[in-house]
Structure 1
């Protein structure tokens, strides 16, 4: 029987080992960093109150990290992993407070199997940042439900404001908090009502400058969301089928390794009767904790499924990133996993063995379907984009044509950003040649520095120079280039 060591930071050791294995692996099988990371490295060239696709906090956080460790793909890898691991650590801490050490360790091992957090550990985007605020909000609500103080409400307001400045989907977590407020009768306590009002005011003050920015934009995050997913207005049958597939993907694709691990723990615990809690106070405290875990685990997918069915929204698979780990305690409750039976039986031993086996399988599957594996995916994956080879093919002739270093690249956001990452000049990217969505570049910059234009295969004017895979390039020299663009 395996026991949870006392006084040893098992959670920390597990998370560090997990991150070391996965970050090294993900870097080794990718020719190009994730497109979302590239997007953030492009945007952080200027600090704005918003960007054409998303609110600003993820970009601000990356800007701060770049000042410390430099502008590179690894800065985004480390930052994304840090926020993911911090979210998982908060998650484990909350499970330990509610149910105990062994329960928390099994829950963490199951959560590490969710493929949002292993195969995408090197991702840095608004979903990853939102996941941190969602986890921190759950921890703060636990404190509010058990040890109410003004400080928790103030912190919740700050987290709420920053959450909305990271992704508007934080509204789902805010809705969950309001449900807890009503469910546990906090509205009957005047101090708690004042605390909620404080949190709303603080969050609103933090979020308001972005609202003002939104009102001034012809193209902004809301317009982008309406164009890409919220405004899809799918027909009824399509809504039902797409929502069902989205839920199935959440539970039996993204969470499948977690489900398998917990089923094994359930099997290992068969025949063991759970030990009842000693006092009514313990039972009441755990009931509040279970209510919070159920809220965080069930409300987000239910809320988004309702958006799909009732609103015709085109649900995006990655929308589960911030919330999928909270599915784990719901599964644990459904399977009857208990702290006492974990300590008394073989469940913890099984979980450790299953963790090692499942993580090994996931690493192998990731390698085997990569450009280096035997079963490379039929549809080209972004990580296979040959950015280094493209940079070598373009950089020398482009510098010669410009008469100097490459300072601005114009073209599709992800390929142009990937090319910029491979060049020592670290040029800025003019997204799709559009100054309106690239506030870090001005017309004067283009006139002064010249521009390297990158064209996808089959696109571009007749004077484009074609290189590998049909990609094309041409330059517009500085000192008077403005008239060629406007």
Structure 2
């Protein structure tokens, strides 16, 4: 029987048949389906970040005005397979989640049994960044798979001095950097590990670093060149987001908020591990009350324990240290990738008893938490919010708003609508329900919307839309206001935000800059 460390496989200690792959794949497919459906069935419109990605994914660029391009490229690929719709964004976020969970299990198989690796994977899967926040298709969520892949290959590269692993490590690092520049924190963690373990003294390590570095450079060079051509872009956005706080006391408060929020998001893992621990200890005590089992971590190699602790905790620690010294403000979701190895930390708690019982108990606990979490999240965000009349993004009637303003366009213009000038959220809701040719001129800014040709837009006209709702109005950019002053026809449409009687109303002011005759004649000649 082939073992998982044979020439056909690159994971698991010697002598362990690859029996759990189908089980793991089944669990992950169910996870993907559960959370995608929970969000898709409950949301009329996606979260803001999801809508931003939908707007950007209308065009392939070497970068976007806030972030590197890889997540948008991946969503663009999905949109070529499926129609442009809201559910695709939830699916994309959870696809990143399940890929990262798959590789977390693969990594665990390197230093413990497949069943114990599965336990660690299951426990970390209930962290909020893998569940309720895993449907948010932002660059933090989309970085999960590349960060975990880099950690896994880094382990193999340093353990086996494998140049193949170093090469794949470079690929994952390149993907992580092209997703978000925060990958540099993880790179610093790798450097710290090499320094602490003394592996920088080996020539083979430097050769591996050179190989990985070359691959990263080849991958990111076009994006770096694009950055040099930008007057403002991702670097300026990041610099603005990390503008130092005024005092160190402000920094302490900010770090405290950052930690408290993330403790709450990791709390499900603690509760799940506590339930499994108590259940397992109770079962073991019933079988033999005189035997006190040791924890699983005692059976790991010392080097593997160091790898888990240092690589797993250092990103969070380094971030807090840097933020404290430089007074950098922290956003809680920046920690999305910092907890990927926390499932393995439970090995210091869980007793080393029968693996079959441990797996069954963990599956039972995690399955219950996942189902309750997904149903509760979907119901609270969708039906409940709609019933009580809560005007949230999830209850926003994007399809109806799109239909209403598009009807106004068709009443006044004889050619298809291709440009909507608005903020990302409202404009995205409008074009999502139109043809793929329709694009958003974000905040009236051509620099932030390279998919819009300025001369063509001015020649062929556009629709301008402003959210005038009393509840939760979006900020209006002065450039949108200026465009509204140039319209030939304007008006306002409204529709109930929720199904609650006398509930909040969505009001959208619209205006149309009519196309010139040259554009009208050109379109008619082609039709």
For 1:289 and 1:9, how far apart are their aligned partners in 2? 26
Tell me whether 142-151 or 268-277 shows the greater mean CA deviation: 268-277
Structure 2 unmatched ranges of 5 or more: 1-16, 286-291, 470-475, 495-505, 520-527
Q: Which residue of 2 aligns with 1:85?
A: 98
For 1:181 and 1:216, how far apart are their aligned partners in 2? 35
SS class of match (1:384): coil
Q: Which residue of 1 aligns with 2:523?
A: none
Q: Which residue of 2 aligns with 1:235?
A: 247
* 1:137 maps to 2:157: no
CA shift digits 1:379-422 (9 cap, x unpaired): 74322222112112211112222223211111001210111111
Q: Which residue of 2 aligns with 1:307?
A: 322
Asked if the contact 2:124/2:269 (under 8 Å) is kept, the reply is: yes
Q: How many residues align?
A: 468
Q: Which residue of 2 aligns with 1:164?
A: 177
For 1:315 and 1:276, how far apart are their aligned partners in 2? 35
2:511 to 455, 474, 481: 474
For 1:204 and 1:328, how far apart are their aligned partners in 2? 32
* 1:365 maps to 2:382: no
Per-residue deviation at 1:139? 0.9
For 1:481 and 1:288, how far apart are their aligned partners in 2? 72
Query: Does the C-alpha gap of structure 1 residues 66 and 368 become closer, same or farther in structure 2, counting only changes over 3 Å?
Result: closer
For 1:297 and 1:101, how far apart are their aligned partners in 2? 19
Query: Does the C-alpha gap of structure 1 residues 480 and 234 become closer, same or farther in structure 2, counting only changes over 3 Å?
Result: farther
For 1:476 and 1:16, how far apart are their aligned partners in 2? 47
Per-residue deviation at 1:92? 1.2
Query: Does the C-alpha gap of structure 1 residues 260 and 378 become closer, same or farther in structure 2, counting only changes over 3 Å?
Result: farther
Per-residue deviation at 1:256? 1.4
For 1:370 and 1:51, how far apart are their aligned partners in 2? 29
Per-residue deviation at 1:275? 8.0
Q: Which residue of 1 aligns with 2:135?
A: 122
* 1:416 maps to 2:453: no
For 2:297 and 2:38, how far apart are their aligned partners in 1? 44
Structure 1 unmatched ranges of 5 or more: none
* 1:244 maps to 2:264: no
Higher RCO (C-alpha under 8 Å, 6+ residues apart): 1
SS class of match (1:78): helix
* 1:44 maps to 2:57: yes
CA RMSD of aligned residues (A): 2.7
CA shift digits 1:297-354 (9 cap, x unpaired): 2111112222332222221121122232322222x144x225x32528x543432232
Query: Does the C-alpha gap of structure 1 residues 55 and 97 become closer, same or farther in structure 2, counting only changes over 3 Å?
Result: same
2:338 to 312, 317, 323: 323
For 2:296 and 2:231, how far apart are their aligned partners in 1? 60
For 1:376 and 1:263, how far apart are their aligned partners in 2? 36
For 2:247 and 2:400, how far apart are their aligned partners in 1? 44
1:297 to 312, 321, 328: 312
Give TM-score, length-normalised by structure 2: 0.82
Q: Which residue of 1 aligns with 2:294?
A: 274
Give TM-score, length-normalised by structure 1: 0.88
Q: Which residue of 1 aligns with 2:359?
A: 348
For 1:161 and 1:248, how far apart are their aligned partners in 2? 31
For 1:20 and 1:9, how far apart are their aligned partners in 2? 16
* 1:257 maps to 2:294: no
Query: Does the C-alpha gap of structure 1 residues 65 and 392 become closer, same or farther in structure 2, counting only changes over 3 Å?
Result: closer
Query: Does the C-alpha gap of structure 1 residues 36 and 186 become closer, same or farther in structure 2, counting only changes over 3 Å?
Result: same
For 1:161 and 1:363, how far apart are their aligned partners in 2? 33
Per-residue deviation at 1:180? 2.0
Per-residue deviation at 1:169? 0.6
